[in-house]
Structure 1
Amino acid sequence: MTDQGAPAARAAGAPDRGDLDRSRRIARVHVEVEPLHLDRPFDYLVPDDVEVVAGQRVEVLFAGRRTLGLVAEVTSDTDVPDDRLRPLRRTLGDHVWVRPDELATLRWLAARTGAPVADGVRHALPKRVIEVERAAAEAGWYPAAPRPSSDPAPDADALDAAWAGYGEDGRTLREAVTSGHGSFLWRPLPGEDLAARVGELVQLCLAGGRDALVVVPDPSSPAADGVVAAAGDLVVDTRGDLKQRAMYRRWLEARTGRVRVVVGLRGVSLWPLERLGLAIVLDEANPALKERRSPRHHAREVVLERARRAGGVGLLVGTVPSAPAWRLLRERRVVPIVPTREAERAARPRVTLVPDDGRYRTRLAAEATGALRRATRAGTYGVVLAARRGEGRALVCGRCGERSVCPTCASSLLLGRDGSVLCEGCGWRAPKLPACRACGERRPVPLAAGAAWLGRELTRSSDATVAVLEGYAQTPPPPPAILVTTRGSVLDTPPGPVGAVILADLDGALRRPTLDAAEDTLRLAVQVATWAAHPLTRAVLPDGGEVVVQSREPEHHAIDALVRWDPGAFWKAEIVTRTALRFPPAAVAIRLGVATTDPGLGAAVRAAVPPGTDVLGPLPVEGELTFLLKADDRAATLAALRPLREAWSKAGTTHRLDVDPVDA
């Protein structure tokens, strides 16, 4: 006999045990343990001196260890024999951690992602800090706080003017936020002041007596700053590197109702609010919004579901919809909020397409260098988007573009840190590049130039200050200057007026070996191109800045959608390819990785899934076998895999399941 809790075995229709002592209290607990085969509530006896209600977090003994759990139900009924019941050890805090509707959401999340409920509980709840509870009790807002009031709604005439570019769609969204409900996908105008618009929506929600949740992909989001400014002392901002004490205090303020707005990264998707009326996800397609640990959910799905269950508004914001968002649009489960065509034409930047003639020695076309020169002479920034950080390692001939290959194994040659060339395939190395097989040239250039390489080229050829920005929170020099940036430095708001945006290497991004390469490339290009149309730019250049696109594939539908500024046209073309391949959004992708080398695993997976589910693989990835499943019915496929996964769990075989992986 072990001292772990006994599983709650009573099922619907089970016989009533007349001999059960009705005075006993039984807590049905989701124990926070990882194995999938233990994903069920366990019954514990509540001692006479312990007060416990559903939703409280408790400490229990499970398999001889002190473990946390969440009470799902308090009952007097159990089918567990008396000698197997173990007592609860203690409750954690005087507050309810998870309310019944929130537990229902956690169970929905577990079913949707194929994860144990306990994983969702661990993800949703912070670590307890008793000192925070004591300080809050002394301050008078724990275990419950009086509901704070908000400022009146913004002036109606001012709102009409600010949202005029969206026509009837804008009025529909604002009316829903004030007192209605629904799911929406908003494509902002190019150069839109997102901080102001999102702040107005939050104010409308608060004035209507409801609360707001805003999820952002990065801590430097200017739109999140706008929400914090608009909500004042009604908001908790969880961005930044918060310590355990600070994070628990903010969560407790939301739990007790002391605040009415929560702003943060993907981790706040499940944070509590008293009367959720508006839940927003900014840049909904950003991969940073996808959780990397179980349950591997995306903030997009969680936010929409929470808003739906609360009778509020779920709002996704983005320029080019993700594949899952496009699927929701096609199924009419979200309502598009888009600018009028006239407003979008007036607001969009001027885009010039320059077909690339295969230049390698000089990365930028004359049209691009001319645009940078005009931008800096006007006292603004010129921005060059680099494909990657650093130098860019795979080499081609600087004259003709012939790929530089290893003389031993024919793999691509790379540039070493000491200036030598090397092959990572077989280890061959030489102090300098061999002569090009096609033209005899010995000067190498990267196949896709990194930010550092472009920065050096521009420093040699330009009189303006050149700064290379790689990653978040980089501080640029004041304009005029040329900024060479990577995607990590591309935010909703430019660093200042931008007179020129140069997109010189979109082809490299389009050729990445991932299915979402085209949509991701277009999304990034649109985001940085809007800097040339931002109010900061138009304050200096009334007609906005220039956008120059260089491409060897000018007919590619992603390039065409960028030049015509028509994201909808991209998906109309992209969906043809996706449907033929049965990839998202035409089907649901599920990635399954199992830490085994069993040659029979593929046959077992194929035998388990329902008809109509395609299984690709296995491929050996980092010590495991990985499969990609394409399913028409996500729930049926996950249910069919469950017995197999529970068997792996019992055997101690590690496996990972990811529904809608961000790179599929």
Structure 2
Amino acid sequence: MPPKTIIRLALPVPLRRLFDYLGEEGRVYPIGARVRVPFGQRELIGIVIEQTEDSEQDLDKLKPARALLDENELIPSDIRQLVDFCSRYYQCPLGEAYNTALPKLLRNGEAVSLPQQEFLQLSQEGLGLPPGGLAKARKQAALLTALQEQGKLDKTDLKRLCISNAVVKAMQEKGLLCWESEQLPTIKAEEQQKQEALELNDEQSAALEQLRYQTFACYLLEGTTGSGKTEVYLQAIAEVLRQGKQALVMIPEIGLTPQTLGRFQNRFRCPVVAIHSGLNDKERLQAWGMAKSGQAGIIIGTRSSVFTPLYNPGIIIIDEEHDLSFKQQDGVRYSGRDLAIFRAQKAGIPIVLGTATPSLETLHNAIQGRYHHLRLTRRAGAARPPAISVDDIKQKTLIGGLSQNSLDAIGNTLAAGNQVLVFLNRRGFAPSLICHNCGWVAECRHCSARMTLHKAQRQLRCHHCEASMPLPTQCPKCFSQELIGQGYGTQRSEETLQEYFPETQIIRIDRDSTRKKQAMHELLHEVDQGQPCILLGTQMLAKGHHFPNVTLVVIVDADGGLFSGDFRGPERMGQLITQVAGRAGRAEKPGRVIIQSHNKDHPLLETLLEQGYHLFARQILRERQLANMPPYRQLALLHCDSKDGILAESYLQGLRQWLEQYAPPTPERVYLGPFPAPMEKRKQMFRFQLQFNCENRRQMQQLLQLAGQYLEQSKMPHNIRCSLDVDPLDMM
């Protein structure tokens, strides 16, 4: 009796194991192909991990697979390696990692469809014409000559030759031409630029010359806002295209895609595709296929694009590498940036991390020599850094979050025919408690950290040592009862600005105003018209936008990050202020920045404004080292959500007690919690966290594997939902 054909699959279910099925005898199931199988009362699509003849399960109980969907591997080996690493490092089931990596239509069983290129060629009758034929019809003669010389022409060629549709139609009616279609070719090793590259300054040239294209290296390109980082990207990509290779460019926000895509399409001749959640399913699948087949030379995408297969990868570029958007905050909580570094290493290609405000993890790696540190310290062209001033708003009347000084400056800027950007820092959900009269902030008595306001329980809590205190009714410093939660909303400020400047267009950009497709592009197009207006928005405006007519930036709230319950708050504050301030004065017009603060003399704010982000970040690094926090230690959070808060907390408490039996707490392995999340209740669910702090990655992975065993083997109540966040960037 011939041995059974057994296929081992990764299925999109929350179980940390593979599943065996019976395959057709004598049939080969390619690794990385998709197979449709029964699973309980459902039908699922799994990924082939292995084909074997043995199984730990009883062969009589194995169900037969229903259909092999791919005759050849769908997922290349390098992407399988990446997904496997993602599953192991972020402690998620392999099937869920594959589900995250694939476009929706592939998960649903559809095949990859590649676009066809239409081209014009001579028919059999046309091939019989002699050179110089059709001399009496000048345009037709020109088209005939071009086809005789080149063999075929696409629509771009016809446009370049100024051949109209009427000319083509006339020759078709004579039976001289025919349209054919074929699959787009892969990128060839040749010059792909449409436009000439800009002249680089000495810093840009030095950075570009240090890039090595034939081996893995990670480069931190730290360049002040407006310093020309994008031009360095473009010229590095041009070199990669000349070698016949592809470039993956990762950006943090969908809103940046249209302008980035347009800039690359205008510069390069090769196909450029976008991959992000704003595309429909068919568009996303087609872009995925073009990248895999090598038809697309440049792939631009958000964090999920890290899983896009490339025919011949040459370089990976991550713009605004510090941005929180590169970390998935639900489901498989992976970091697109960190996975991209792993991918570049395995592919043996360079990766460039570009930003004006490096994350502390990236900066630490550069300081330690793990990354090559390239710096651009001055703005490109005639642009100069903006003048920055701090508006002390203690005891001042605020109108929609704005001081009178800010409103006067806005009026003067508009009167001069320029544009204004008003930025509101809305990061974080549970605001700090601050005294409007004297600037006092509720601080933990046991830590160098601020207390976080928990409104539901009317308590202040520290998420570092778990200390708590009742919500005070008056300021302990000046006895004022004007205690306020920090932060103002964009809609409230929009009303205020419209009242003060009724004749001025207010363009509000936030999650609410940009929900519709193309909404962000349309709003930014209005700004690009150059007419005086007020651009009002959240951190969406801090990422890579170029507003040449914005000469004034008003930062409404600079204090939120200084007093955040998240230990990353000061870092985020410094990044946001630096990035937003960089939107002012990017062209020839001088720029000005006003920063509103209740704490004008705060040491961190002074360091940031007087010495710049680079030295500011080094100061925070020293504080992180003293506090045993990342990047000097490894951090992970186990989240537990339930409509019953007591049940969620007790489940995590049981998990901690179980873990401590096998891995007792030590100075190298620290447990903290369970404690309520800063945003304690969300979507009717009470949220609790258990924090793990370890000396190195090996210890952390061992601990997380134990936690994963408990989660899968314990009898978890049906109304509890748990998730693990490795290297969390948002403690909320």
1:585 equivalent in alignment to 2:631: yes
- What amino acid does structure 2 have at the position aligned with 1:381? Q
Aligned match of 2:562 in 483, 490, 510?
Answer: 510
Amino acid at match of 1:375: T
> Which amino acid is 2:372 matched to?
V
Contact 1:510 1:521 in 2 (8 A): yes
User: Residue 709 of structure 2: which of 646, 655, 658 is its match?
Assistant: 646
Render the CA deviation track for 1:264-314: whole Å, top value 9, x for unaligned. Answer: 221111110011111122212222221133431111101111111111111
Cα distance in 1 between the residues matched to 2:370 and 2:183: 36
- The residue number in structure 2 matching 1:89 is 66
Name the structure 2 match of 1:148: 187
Q: What does residue 619 of structure 1 align with?
A: 675
Contact 2:432 2:563 in 1 (8 A): no
* Shift in Å, 1:229: 3.8
Which letter does structure 1 place at the counterpart of 2:416?
Answer: A
**Bigger mean CA deviation after superposition, 611-620 or 468-477:** 468-477
Shift of 1:329: 2.2
d(CA) in 2 for partners of 1:231, 1:157? 10
Once the two structures are superposed, the pairs formed by residues 599-614 of structure 1 within 5 Å of their partners are: 599-609=653-663, 611=666, 612-614=668-670
Could you tell me which of 200, 207, 214 is aligned with 1:169?
207
Structure 1: tracts of 5 or more residues without a match: 1-20, 404-411, 414-422, 427-433
Conserved 8 A contact 2:432-2:560: no
Mapped to 1, the partners of 2:115 and 2:380 lie a distance apart of 49
Counterpart of 2:330 in structure 1 is 293
Mapped contact 1:281–1:299 kept (Cα < 8 A): no
Deviation at 1:439, TM superposition (A): 12
Counterpart of 1:35 in structure 2 is: 15
Task: After superposition, give the CA deviation of every residue in 1:440-480 in whole Å (9 maximum; x if it has no partner).
Answer: 99999985343344444445555862625141424556532
In the aligned structure 1, how far is the partner of 2:217 from the partner of 2:435? Answer: 55
2: distance between equivalents of 1:593 and 1:186? Answer: 34
Report the Cα distance in structure 1 between the residues aligned to 2:704 and 2:532, rounded to whole angstroms. Answer: 58
Deviation at 1:364, TM superposition (A): 5.3
Task: Provide, for residues 475-522 of structure 1, a one-character-per-residue CA deviation record: whole Å limited to 9, x for no partner.
Answer: 556532333332233341244411111224201342222111111111
Match of 1:204 in 2: 239
Deviation of 1:531 after TM superposition, in Å, equals: 1.4
Q: Does 1:485 pair with 2:520?
A: no
- Secondary structure, in 3 states, of the residue corresponding to 1:220? helix
Q: In structure 2, do the counterparts of structure 1 residues 369 and 35 end up closer, same or farther at CA, with 3 Å as the change threshold?
A: same
Contact 2:201 2:380 in 1 (8 A): no
Kept in 2, the 8 Å contact 1:361–1:445? The answer is no
Partner of 1:648: helix, strand, or coil?
helix
1:379-400 per-residue CA deviation (whole Å, 9 max, x = no partner) reads 21122222349xx999999888
- The reply to whether residue 243 of structure 1 matches residue 280 of structure 2 is yes
1:10 aligned residue = none
- Kindly indicate whether the alpha-carbon contact (under 8 Å) linking 1:151 and 1:203 is maintained by their aligned counterparts in 2: no
Question: 1:326–1:585: 8 Å Cα contact kept in structure 2?
Answer: no
- How many Å apart are 1:358 and its aligned residue? 3.6
Q: Secondary structure at the match of 1:507?
A: coil
- CA drift of 1:529 comes to 1.0
Aligned match of 2:350: 313
Distance 1:229 1:313 in 2: 24
- Aligned partner of 1:56 in structure 2 is 33
**1:498-554 deviations in whole A, cap 9, x for unaligned?**
11112242013422221111111111111111111313xx2xx2xx21122333434
Change (3 A) 1:346 1:220: closer
Corresponding position: 1:633 with 2:671: no
The verdict on how the C-alpha distance between 1:387 and 1:73 changes in structure 2, with shifts beyond 3 A counting, is closer
State whether residues 594 and 625 of structure 1, in contact with CA within 8 Å, keep that contact through their aligned partners in structure 2. Answer: yes
Q: Partners in 2 of 1:592 and 1:319 — Cα distance?
A: 32
Does 2:606 match 1:521? no
Is the aligned partner of 1:467 residue 2:509?
no
* Distance in 2 between residues matched to 1:507 and 1:171, nearest whole Å: 41
1:108 aligns with 2:85: yes
- Cα separation, 2, equivalents of 1:134 and 1:239: 18
- The one-letter amino acid of 2:79's match is E
Q: Which residue of the partner structure matches residue 559 of structure 1?
A: 605
The residue correspondences of 1:59-70 to structure 2 (distance < 5 A) are: 59-63=36-40, 65-70=42-47
Q: Which residue of 2 aligns with 1:181?
A: 216
Distance 1:447 1:463, change over 3 A: same
Secondary structure class of the residue paired with 1:54: coil
Structure 2 CA distance for partners of 1:532 and 1:82, relative to 1, 3 Å: closer
Unmatched tracts of structure 2, length 5 or more: 120-179, 442-451, 459-472, 515-519, 642-647, 678-684
Q: Distance in 2 between matches of 1:400 and 1:581?
A: 29
* Deviates further, 110-119 or 649-658: 649-658
In the comparison of the two structures, how many residue pairs are matched?
607
Shift in CA distance, 384/274, structure 1 to aligned 2, threshold 3 Å: same
Task: Give, in whole Å, the separation in 2 of the partners of 1:304 and 1:243.
Answer: 28
Q: How far off its partner does 1:122 sit?
A: 0.9
Of residues 219, 222, 230, the one that matches 2:267 is 230
Letter of the 2:46 counterpart = G
RMSD in angstroms over aligned alpha carbons? 4.2
Q: 1:339 corresponds to which letter in structure 2? A: L
Aligned to 1:6: none
The 5 Å alignment of 1:275-424 reads 275-340=312-377, 347-361=384-398, 368-369=406-407, 371-388=409-426
Range with bigger deviation, 81-90 or 121-130: 81-90
CA distance in 1, matches of 2:421, 2:233: 26
Instruction: Indicate the residue corresponding to 2:308 in structure 1.
Output: 271
The answer to whether the Cα contact below 8 Å between 2:394 and 2:439 also exists between their aligned partners in 1 is no
SS of the residue 1:617 aligns to = strand
CA gap of 1:317–1:81, structure 2 versus 1, over 3 A, is same
397 and 348 in structure 1: CA distance in 2 versus 1, 3 angstrom threshold: closer
Matches within 5 A, 1:440-455: 448-455=487-494
Cα contact 1:165–1:343 (8 A) shared by 2: no
Tell me which amino acid in the other structure corresponds to 2:551.
G
Range with greater deviation from structure 2 (500-509 or 274-283): 500-509
1:16-61, Cα deviation, whole Å (9 max, x unpaired): xxxxx7765443322332123xx2x344443137442111111233
Q: Does 1:532 align with 2:584?
A: yes
CA contact (8 A) 1:348 1:565 kept: no
Over 3 Å counting, the alpha-carbon distance change for 1:240 and 1:60 in structure 2 is closer
Identity between Structure 1 and Structure 2 (%)? 21
How big is the shift at 1:650?
A: 3.2
TM-score, with structure 2 as normaliser: 0.72
Output the CA distance in 2 between the equivalents of 1:438 and 1:640. Answer: 44
Taking a change above 3 Å as real, the CA distance of residues 341 and 56 of structure 1, as seen in their structure-2 partners, is: same
Q: Which amino acid in structure 1 is aligned with residue 657 of structure 2?
A: A
Query: 1:124: which partner in 2?
Result: 101
In structure 2, C-alpha distance between the alignment counterparts of 1:584 and 1:479, rounded to whole Å: 45
Aligned to 1:408: none
Q: Does 1:659 align with 2:694?
A: no
CA separation of 1:77 and 1:243: change in aligned 2, threshold 3 A: same
Please report how far the alpha carbon of residue 139 of structure 1 lies from its aligned counterpart in structure 2 after TM superposition: 9.4
Following TM superposition, by how much is the alpha carbon of 1:103 offset from its aligned partner in structure 2, in angstroms?
Answer: 1.6
